[in-house]
């Protein structure tokens, strides 16, 4: 607060000097010394109150360039009220300040190359194959928010509060969604003073119910006056440049913190280049400025999703400068707007690192082919652009959503949160499918290069099993993390388990040799007749999994088979 007072006083002094004639001479008006003092003091007081009020309410940064926008108006008023040499000096200030404002407003025309350089990415062909023994963090946020709202009765004094924004992160090795409880209005804040805690729910298991964690928080985005989180940060760091909304992060002990990304303008109050975070204890308000290199281990999303989305825009649009992005559009690629957070989707690697995913498409209308995709490290901001197999044309996220819409057109189900994975060596879209009420119905996987190859099931892992058999049937090369090779086995079936999944039946069976197999009736329709005691000849993929995926199976003695 003290810095705000000091800067307001300095700004007030400059405004008063510009508006009130230093020579004490007004055009065509003769004032006594007392009248002059009254005018000067009045301008001083009014300027201070106005400056303090505007800065306090708007929470704008207090770099000196902020005041350039009003300088021409103030200087013009001062020139009108002045005479002689003072009028000439203030007129010159008007001219210079107009040039400065024009420079700021025109910055996007000439700093496009600097923006592109700040967002430039390393380049690769394809992401590493997904480990088929893992479960992707694929529960869609819309579904999670619906479940959290239904569990809101766990919150004490429920009428005071509402559910805040979702964030995904890793807590104690588990991937979870976190959503703070926020005040629902000014009077609720006045009566409540603090929020009671936050909700958490698994990001990998859609069947898990939300849990309310009691942790009182005072400094939150929905609070007012000095307890408002953004104002609290601004009052302590009045000159820092922020981009993106504050996000809740929880350490492994369940203690809540808010973070906000800060950085620098690319040039002339335009563009943004992230440098670090402000970390705020949500209970006490204690704050700390931390560079990206020193971010604590429990923080997953140090770089705000809004910042990543902005960098993707720089990288895709400004490859050949500003004017090319408007007219020629050579090599321009547009980042998708299908992400779950500010047009990007957070995902986790096998090592537990969070990245923001975005796919890029052509600026040409009616084209749904993907030009590439990017992954941006959420802690460091470092990004890699993947071109995909240049010999194949990949479908973009919008194309994947359209396939789902057509697949379930009668039920009016829609896809949400499409993310591209490398499943078994095939670039594939994994998308959650929700009904019209926002409830999760299944998971849909479709090949980006061969849209006719797809599978869906009630869980991601079941969908992966079906997708593996669909890839085998479709002639695609099933590899994955285990570098599977084709093998054969013959023996007696001693156990059989059949489960209906989607439009087909998954048949799991155990041979006397101790090996377990799994096959879909989509791949081998006659497998539905398998029973214990049958002798079978199996062609399978040696993936090393507990249940080995079957490419073909022959049941000895079954009519129509040898």
Cα maximum dimension of the chain: 119
Q: Which helix (H) or strand (E) holds 325?
A: helix 322-326
Residue 207, exposed/middle/buried by CB under 10 A (0-12, 13-18, 19+)?
exposed
Q: Which helix (H) or strand (E) holds 495?
A: strand 486-501
Residue 403 in tokens:
């396939």
- Residue-level pLDDT at 473: 61
Q: Which residues of 278-306 are buried (b: 16+ CB within 10 A; e: fewer)?
A: bbbbbeebebeebebeebeebbbbbbbbb
- Residue-level pLDDT at 208: 92
> How many Å apart are CA 433 and CA 431, to the nearest integer?
6
- Residue-level pLDDT at 350: 78
Report H helices in 151-206.
186-192
* Residue ranges per structural domain of the chain: 1-108, 306-391, 395-474, 484-555
3-state SS class at 4: helix
> How many Å apart are CA 65 and CA 310, to the nearest integer?
22
At 2-41, the pLDDT tens digits run: 778 888 888 899 999 999 988 888 887 777 888 888 999 9
- Residue-level pLDDT at 200: 96
- Which residues does residue 160 pair with via DSSP β-bridges, in sequence order? none
- Residue-level pLDDT at 480: 43
- Residue-level pLDDT at 261: 97
CATH superfamily of 484-555: Nucleic acid-binding proteins (2.40.50.140)
pTM given for the model: 0.83
Ranges of residues in the chain whose predicted pLDDT is under 70: 133, 366, 472-484, 501-502, 562
- Residue-level pLDDT at 479: 47
> For residue 336, what are the contacts with CB-CB under 8 A and spacing of at least 6?
343, 358, 359, 360, 361, 396, 397, 398
Q: How many CA atoms lie within 13 A of 440 on its CB side?
A: 27
**Backbone dihedral region for residue 111 (phi beyond 0: left; psi -120 to 50: alpha; all else: beta):** alpha
Query: Backbone phi, then psi, for 486, in 5-degree steps?
Result: -75, 140
């Amino acid at each position: 607060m003290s810095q705000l007072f000091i800067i307001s006083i300095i700004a007030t002094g400059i405004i008063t000097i510009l508006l009130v004639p230093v020579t004490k001479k007004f055009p065509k008006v003769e004032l006594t010394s007392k009248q002059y003092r009254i005018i000067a003091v009045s301008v001083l007081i009014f300027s201070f109150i106005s400056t303090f009020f505007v800065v306090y309410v708007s929470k704008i940064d207090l770099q000196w360039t902020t005041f350039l926008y009003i300088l021409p108006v103030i200087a013009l008023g001062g020139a009108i009220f002045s005479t002689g040499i003072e009028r000439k000096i203030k007129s010159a200030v008007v001219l210079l300040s107009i040039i400065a404002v024009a420079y700021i407003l025109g910055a996007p025309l000439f700093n496009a190359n600097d923006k592109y350089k700040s967002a430039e990415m390393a380049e690769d062909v394809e992401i590493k194959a997904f480990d088929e023994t893992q479960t992707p963090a694929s529960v869609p946020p819309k579904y999670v928010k619906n479940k959290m709202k239904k569990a809101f009765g766990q919150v004490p004094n429920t009428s005071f509060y509402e559910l805040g924004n979702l964030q995904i992160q890793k807590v104690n090795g588990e991937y979870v969604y976190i959503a703070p409880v926020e005040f629902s209005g000014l009077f609720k804040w006045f009566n409540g003073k603090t929020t009671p805690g936050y909700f958490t729910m698994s990001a990998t298991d859609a069947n898990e119910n939300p849990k309310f964690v009691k942790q009182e928080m005072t400094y939150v985005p929905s609070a007012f006056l000095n307890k408002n989180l953004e104002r609290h940060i601004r009052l302590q760091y009045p000159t820092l440049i922020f981009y993106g909304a504050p996000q809740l992060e929880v350490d492994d002990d369940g203690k809540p913190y808010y973070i906000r990304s800060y950085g620098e303008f690319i040039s002339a109050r335009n563009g943004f280049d992230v440098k670090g975070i402000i970390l705020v204890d949500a209970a006490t308000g204690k704050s700390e400025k931390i560079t990206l290199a020193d971010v604590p281990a429990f923080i997953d999303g140090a770089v705000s999703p809004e910042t990543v989305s902005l960098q993707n825009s720089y990288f895709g649009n400004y490859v050949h400068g500003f004017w090319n992005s408007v007219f020629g559009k050579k090599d321009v690629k547009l980042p998708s707007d299908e992400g779950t957070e500010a047009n990007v989707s957070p995902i986790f690697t096998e090592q537990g690192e969070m990245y923001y995913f975005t796919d890029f498409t052509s600026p040409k209308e009616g084209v749904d082919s993907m030009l590439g995709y990017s992954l941006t490290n959420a802690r460091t901001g470092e990004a890699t652009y993947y071109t995909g197999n240049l010999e194949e044309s990949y479908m973009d996220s919008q194309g994947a959503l359209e396939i789902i819409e057509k697949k379930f057109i009668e039920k009016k189900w829609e896809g949400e949160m499409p993310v591209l994975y490398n499943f078994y060596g095939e670039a594939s879209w994994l998308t959650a499918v929700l009904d019209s009420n926002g409830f999760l119905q299944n998971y849909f996987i479709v090949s980006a290069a061969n849209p006719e190859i797809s599978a869906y099931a009630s869980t991601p892992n079941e969908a992966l099993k079906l997708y593996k058999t669909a890839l085998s049937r479709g002639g695609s090369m099933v590899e994955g993390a285990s570098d599977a090779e084709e093998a054969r086995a013959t023996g007696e079936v001693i156990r059989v388990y059949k489960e209906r999944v989607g439009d087909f039946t998954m048949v799991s069976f155990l041979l006397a040799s101790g090996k377990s197999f799994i096959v879909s009736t989509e791949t081998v329709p006659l497998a539905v007749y398998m029973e214990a005691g049958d002798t079978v000849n199996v062609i399978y993929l040696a993936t090393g999994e507990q249940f080995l995926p079957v490419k073909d199976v022959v049941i000895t003695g079954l009519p129509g088979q040898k």
